[in-house]
Amino acid sequence: MPRSRPSPANATGAASRHSTTSERVLSERAQSTVPRVHFRDLFVYREDFYSIGVEMGSGRFYLSIPVSNRLVDYEEYYEIDLKMLDAFLDDPAKARAFADRARNREEDARLLVPPPPQRGTG
């Protein structure tokens, strides 16, 4: 005997349960321990591929560089103190040197947000 097909009501119910489960999982992920941060660029140096700004929640300054992996483009944010900020604004060559060290992963101790498992390159 041929198997009966589920009625549209059953299919909708299954999809609805799946959707609710997906929403719950996404909601749980959103509430995970990933820090919530809001970065605001103050100075953008397009020709040298870095920016300087402030993380609004904490007031910490950063220098960020664009990074890419095979899945996504994103930015890495490196904390800088007020002395470094002043030095970088006074002498962009110092900021470029810092950005180059960040690209070479020599400034990882200053990362404000941990990189993803499949870390990209700058």
pLDDT digits (tens, 9 = 90+) for 82-96: 999 999 999 999 999
pLDDT at 8: 44
Please answer whether residues 94 and 88 qualify as being in contact, where contact means their C-beta atoms are separated by less than 8 angstroms: yes
pLDDT 10s digits, 20-48: 655 655 555 555 555 678 999 999 999 99
The radius of gyration of the chain from alpha carbons, rounded to an integer in Å, stands at: 22
Candidates 67, 25, 45, 73; CA nearest to 53 is 45
Strands of the 39-45 sheet, one edge to the other? 39-45, 50-55, 61-68, 73-80
Distance separating alpha carbons of residues 121 and 18, to the nearest angstrom: 36
Distance separating alpha carbons of residues 65 and 121, to the nearest angstrom: 10
Total number of residues shown for the chain: 122
What pTM was computed for the model? 0.69
Q: Confidence class of residue 7 from pLDDT cuts 50, 70 and 90?
A: very low
